[in-house]
A and B are shown apart, each in its own frame.
Chain A
Amino acid sequence: MKNKRLILLFIFIFVIFLNLESFSEESISKLLQEYEEASELSKKTRIESLGHVVVYTRKDLEIMQAYTLSDVLRTLKLNQNLVNRFGIENMTNPGVYPATPTSFRLYIDNQEVSSVHTDNPFYMFDYYPLDHIDHIEIYIGAGSIRLGDEPSLMIIKLYTKEPERENVFQVRGTLTSKSGYEMSFFDGRKISPNFSYIFLFHQGFLNFDAQKVHNQNIFRNLFKKYLYLNLIYKNTSLQFNFGRVNRYIFQGLSIDGAPTDGKLKSYDYDINLTHYFTDDKSFKLNLSLNQNYRNFREENDYLDGGIYIPPIYEPPPSLNTPIFYHEERKLEKYNLYLGKEFNTKRNSLLTAISIKQKNNNLKQVRYKTPVKDEKSKNFLTFNKETIYSLILENQFNITEKNLLFTSLKIDRYLRNGNYDNFTDFIGRIGFISSPFKDWFLKGFVTRTYVPPSFFETELAPNRRLNQEILTGATFEIINENNKHRFSFLAGYVNIQDLITFTEDGSVNLPYDVDSFLTSLDYEYRFNYDSKISLNYYKSFYEDSYISSVEGASIQLFKRAEKFDFYGGLFFKKGFKIKDVKIKNSYDLIAGISYNITKTLSIKFKGENLLNNSLRVIYFTPFETGTYDSLERKYFFTIEKVF
């Protein structure tokens, strides 16, 4: 029945798709279209040495009606965007539990925005607005060193719009079928030949269905507010990014996965200065400071097991079981990056240094047990970390069609609180080769590490964790021309000392974990304004699966003069763990936009139309169950340009 509906829907979308021819091919129109295509910013920003890239162009984002980062990451191959126990939508590698992964780096232009506490960007940015974003590049593969931040397995780069190409004031209002709303005010323009700016104010409330866990309702509704301002003067840009996110904590740290009450409130600001000393942008200085205030409060009943706070937790029956927990943190990050590229005809050498200081200040901790009301400050003596990095990356043209990358990053960690300082490195060799016309081969061999975050260290039973050591290789074969793009990606990674969350807190696994992944992509462009893209991926993960490892997708993009159409179907294969079977999921997304006039458009979008999204499994001493990661939702949007 479900499949029938699905097929009908797809036929419907396809008919619309084929019936609308793209607009005329007259020469001036054609030239204008070619100009637009040649001018896409994504063509200028791609950095091949960062890994295997997936690009979402501005047009893709517009046609998809991608309003938040989550709308984009949900469609990304080889990964799942799953809700973790704090109600945060997290990128999750195939097969692993949707916890708080530390190996994803998110950049808004030059600013890396991961939390100092968790090394994870998503708790402030999972529903980050995209109204001021031009395009997104996602680099898959371990060990990119070029940007100088913590080691990563994936880099997500958001590039803001170029002011001189905007010259608009734009307002967007979106209402959802779940009584949520979003509004954005965007402005970007060039004031004089040397000075321009980009501005965004965004506010939204997202409402989600309550989930039933341990016979109680849990919530993950959230309120968000963001302000972004980028002032650009000649070769200098000064970027301000403010964010405020208040959310229910969903399962929180409650033993039964169902707190009685709980909120996570965050307030974040970044100031980032980038200066290029030369016009060719080869000599770059970046200074940034980030402060994040976080307020976490949770309550849970004694008979429900209380709240898991590692240093003090004792399960019932005990008088030391916490039933109330409140903490306030001030997280700070200061960063300096200085990089110089030396370019010759055949060689490009990047040398850079970076210094990053991270402070994890626990301002206040208060917890209650049935008999005590305690205040404490010293759960973790290690709360300050300074990282000195040296970066060297060389790109050498062996011949005109063979390029060799060699990268080395050495990081020295200085840690307080009687914690050992340590030095580790990332080493990487990669190549791109074009043996025949339209054919490209790309490969990397990498040795890297992922340091434990403050959060993981706090949750470790003896407060000590080793860094994870990753060694791996990836290989991609690409065939690309004006009409189509085919690619096959394969990768292998071995992880020593994988940090994972268990009943005893976070621990280094005593054995190595190996995983292998493959991905097949095909994209066909009917013309500049319409394309179809297909993907299939499968990951082979040695440990028992706690999330899906196989998936496929089909996406249709179509732009006509007055209309935009989008249809996407994302399949994730189900799995079985213990006695729980997680069914296959089919997330169907469809969107249509209509431009009433040049300045006014209305848009409809529906996601998870088949109401069949991947469920997330959870285990508590009381029950093993599942909750929805995505719900059926409709969006109605009005956009006006002034």
Chain B
Amino acid sequence: MKLVIKILLILLILKTSFGVIISRTNEKDIKYEIKILEKIAEDITHKNKINVYVIGYDRKKIINFSNHFILVEDIQKADIVIVDKYKRISELKNKIILTTDFNLLKEIPESIGALYWKKGRPHIIFIKERLKDYNIKLSDDYKRYIVSEKEIYSSW
């Protein structure tokens, strides 16, 4: 009996590369998407567990892949708000907002930055003036991604 359990355990552990060979759904990209959002949120809030409120963003991604985000139902409790779809909510005022769509940066003046796709590649962008408004200081790592408000209207 012990042997059977042992074999079963080994089989379970071995479930590695083979899944990759035949699997046609690859979720590695979602893991990285969440990882990046977490990293940004951590660097902004300096917290390890971050309360996050989402608007239009797929909650399943956070539930399945996040280690540091805690989904909250009340926007007031949120450290960070992730917005994928435009919705005018008065409570957005004074909240730190990250978007996953470049155009939302223009539509939501409270948003400080975005993780978005353009021309087949993922991009990160932060707006200098808005970071200042929220008194957020990002490390030098982020320097290359920080642009002035004007630039989001002239280029991407």
Q: A44-B26, A348-B22 are in contact. Are A400 and B120 (CB under 8 A)?
A: no
Partner of A31, one of B15, B35, B85: B35
Is B69 at the interface (CB under 8 A from chain A)?
Answer: no
Q: Inside 8 A of A166's CB, which chain B residues have their CB?
A: 117-120
Q: Inside 8 A of A397's CB, which chain B residues have their CB?
A: 18, 22
Indicate the size class of the contact surface on chain A. Answer: 35 or more
Question: How many residues in B have their beta carbons less than 8 Å from beta carbons of A?
Answer: 40
Q: Inside 8 A of A348's CB, which chain B residues have their CB?
A: 22
Task: Name which residue of chain A comes closest to B117, CB basis.
Answer: A165
Q: Inside 8 A of A489's CB, which chain B residues have their CB?
A: none
The complex places the Cα of A28 from the Cα of B43 at a distance, in Å, of 10
The complex places the Cα of A45 from the Cα of B17 at a distance, in Å, of 17
Q: A29-B141, A43-B26 are in contact. Are A38 and B17 (CB under 8 A)?
A: no
Is B28 at the interface (CB under 8 A from chain A)?
Answer: yes
The complex places the Cα of A26 from the Cα of B143 at a distance, in Å, of 11
Is B21 at the interface (CB under 8 A from chain A)?
Answer: yes
Is A89 at the interface (CB under 8 A from chain B)?
Answer: no
Q: Chain A, 571-598, contact with B by CB distance < 8 Å: what is the 0/1 string?
A: 0000000000000000000000000011
Q: A28-B40, A31-B39, A166-B118 are in contact. Are A44 and B25 (CB under 8 A)?
A: yes
Please state if A167 and B36 are interface contacts (CB–CB under 8 Å): no
Please state if A38 and B18 are interface contacts (CB–CB under 8 Å): no
Q: Chain B, 27-45, contact with A by CB distance < 8 Å: what is the 0/1 string?
A: 0110111011001100100
Task: Name which residue of chain B comes closest to A34, CB basis.
Answer: B32
Interface residues of A in 274-326 (CB under 8 A from B): 280
Please state if A400 and B31 are interface contacts (CB–CB under 8 Å): no
Task: Name which residue of chain B comes closest to A598, CB basis.
Answer: B155
The complex places the Cα of A563 from the Cα of B63 at a distance, in Å, of 39
The complex places the Cα of A395 from the Cα of B18 at a distance, in Å, of 12
Interface residues of B in 1-60 (CB under 8 A from A): 11, 14-18, 21-22, 24-26, 28-29, 31-33, 35-36, 39-40, 43, 56
The complex places the Cα of A279 from the Cα of B73 at a distance, in Å, of 28
Instruction: Please count the residue pairs between chain A and chain B whose beta carbons lie under 8 angstroms apart in the complex.
Output: 100
Please state if B102 and A167 are interface contacts (CB–CB under 8 Å): yes
Please state if A38 and B31 are interface contacts (CB–CB under 8 Å): yes
The complex places the Cα of A525 from the Cα of B24 at a distance, in Å, of 24
Please state if B119 and A641 are interface contacts (CB–CB under 8 Å): yes
The complex places the Cα of A403 from the Cα of B20 at a distance, in Å, of 12
Task: Name which residue of chain A comes closest to B123, CB basis.
Answer: A32
Q: Chain A, 33-69, contact with B by CB distance < 8 Å: what is the 0/1 string?
A: 0111011000111111000000000100000000000
The complex places the Cα of A193 from the Cα of B17 at a distance, in Å, of 33
Q: Chain A, 118-150, contact with B by CB distance < 8 Å: what is the 0/1 string?
A: 000000000000000010000000000000000
Interface residues of A in 331-384 (CB under 8 A from B): 348
* A–B Cβ pairs within 8 angstroms, 22 of them: A26-B140, A26-B141, A27-B39, A31-B35, A35-B122, A36-B121, A38-B32, A43-B26, A45-B24, A134-B120, A161-B120, A162-B120, A166-B119, A167-B118, A280-B25, A400-B18, A401-B18, A434-B17, A434-B18, A437-B17, A597-B155, A598-B156
Q: Which residues of A contact B (CB under 8 A)?
A: 26-29, 31-32, 34-36, 38-39, 43-48, 58, 134, 161-162, 164-168, 170, 193, 280, 348, 395, 397, 400-401, 403, 432, 434, 437, 440, 597-599, 641
A164-B117, A395-B22, A599-B156 known, 20 other contacts, Cβ within 8 Å:
A26-B140, A26-B141, A27-B39, A28-B39, A29-B144, A34-B32, A35-B29, A38-B29, A38-B31, A47-B24, A167-B118, A167-B119, A168-B118, A348-B22, A397-B22, A400-B15, A401-B18, A403-B21, A403-B22, A434-B17
Nearest first, the 6 A-B pairs at minimum CB distance are A35-B32, A39-B29, A38-B28, A26-B141, A165-B117, A400-B14
